[in-house]
Amino acid sequence: MSQASLIHAYTHQGFVQQPDVFSSAQLGRLQAAVDRIASSKYPGHVREAHGKTFRAFHGCHLYDEVFASVVRAEPLVRFAQALLQDEVYVHQLKVNTKRAQFGESWPWHQDFIFWHHHDDMPTDRVTNVMIHLDDVDDDNGPVGFIPESHQWGCLSDETLVRGDSGWEGNVSNDLTYQLNQPLIDRLVDTYGIVHATGPAGTAWWFSGNTCHASSANLSGRERKVLIITYNAVSNAPGRLGPNFGTRPEFLCARDFSPLVSERF
Ligand code: SIN
Ligand code: MN
C-alpha cells in the first residue's frame, strides 16, 4: 500500500497495519535489548498485579541505545510526520511483555485521555505505533481495535474513573480511565472489532482516541509488543500546566526536540 493509502485508511478507521517494517536482524537486536533490560533494574519496570512476571518496561529509549535508535528509524519517523503534519518527538515508549500463561488483560480504553488529564497534552494530534516483537495471533492476547471509534473523539463522559492510584494505575490492568460497558456494546455492535494480529515485525498505527483493549495471554507463547507514542512538536504540553511533569519521565517526556530520522 502506498503511504497515501495507509494514511487514508488510518484517518478513516483510526488504525492501519504496516507489514514487515523491520527485518529479522533488526528484530533480533530489539529482542536482545529487551532481554538485557529485563535482567537489570530500571525505574520503568512494572510487574503484573500477581507479581510473578513483568507487565511492561517503560521509557527504554531514555537509557538503552537500541531503543534510542529505533524511535528514530526512518520509516517510523517519516510516517508519524506525515500523519501529524509536523515534526515529532516521543511522548512515551513501552514494551508490553504479556508473558505466556501469566500476561494480564488491558480493559477497554482510549489513550489520549491519560495524556490530556495527566500530562496536559492539549489535543489529540498524537499517534501510536505498535510493533510486534513476537508473532501475534488470536490466542496470545492481541490488541482489539474498534474501527472508526476515534471519530467519536475523547469519550470523557463515557469513561469510568477508577480512583487515583498514582501512575501505576495508568499502566495496570485496572486502568484509571476505562470505557463503560453500554458504550462498548454499542460501538462493537456498530463497528465490530479488528484483532491486531500478524508476525513479528508487523506494525499497527493507531490514533490516541481509538478504543482498544486486549485479553489475558493463556497461550504458551509470549506476546511482546513495542509501543511508541509520537506527538506533534506543536502539540507538546505547556511546561507551566498544572499537571505537566507530575508523572515520571518514562511516562511523560520532558524533551520535545524534533527527532532526526536515521537508519536503524
Ligand atoms: C495499550 O493499550 O497501551 C496496550 C495494550 C496491550 O499491550 O495489549
Ligand atoms: Mn492503550
**One-letter identity of residue 74:** E
Residue of 140, 212, 215, 219 with the most ligand 1 atoms within 8 Å of its CB, for mutation:
212
Quote the cell numbers at residue 142: 492481541
Quote the cell numbers at residue 246: 507530575
**Number of domains comprising the chain:** 1
Is residue 257 assigned to a domain? no
Which residues contact residue 127 at a Cβ distance below 8 angstroms, ignoring those fewer than 6 apart?
A: 80, 83, 84, 205, 206, 207, 208, 229, 230
**Residue 159: which of 193, 140, 183 has the closest Cα?**
183
Is residue 104 assigned to a domain? yes
Which SS3 state, helix, strand or coil, does residue 10 take? helix
CATH number of domain containing 31? 2.60.120.620
pLDDT tens string, the chain, 264 residues long: the values are: 899 999 999 999 999 999 889 999 999 999 999 999 999 999 999 999 999 999 999 999 999 999 999 999 999 999 999 999 999 999 999 999 999 999 999 999 999 999 999 999 999 999 999 999 999 999 999 999 999 999 999 999 999 998 777 898 889 888 999 999 999 999 999 999 999 999 999 999 999 999 999 999 999 999 999 999 999 999 999 999 999 999 999 999 999 999 999 999
Q: Give me ligand 2 centre to Cα 106, in Å.
A: 8
Per-residue pLDDT reduced to its tens digit, 67-101 = 999 999 999 999 999 999 999 999 999 999 999 99
Q: What range does the domain containing 169 cover?
A: 3-235
58 Cβ closer than 6 Å to some ligand 1 atom? no
Is residue 80 assigned to a domain? yes
Is residue 174 assigned to a domain? yes
In angstroms, rounded to a whole number, what is the distance separating the alpha carbons of residues 160 and 179?
A: 6
Is residue 260 assigned to a domain? no
Give the per-residue pLDDT at 191: 98
Is residue 25 assigned to a domain? yes
Per-residue pLDDT reduced to its tens digit, 99-138 = 999 999 999 999 999 999 999 999 999 999 999 999 999 9
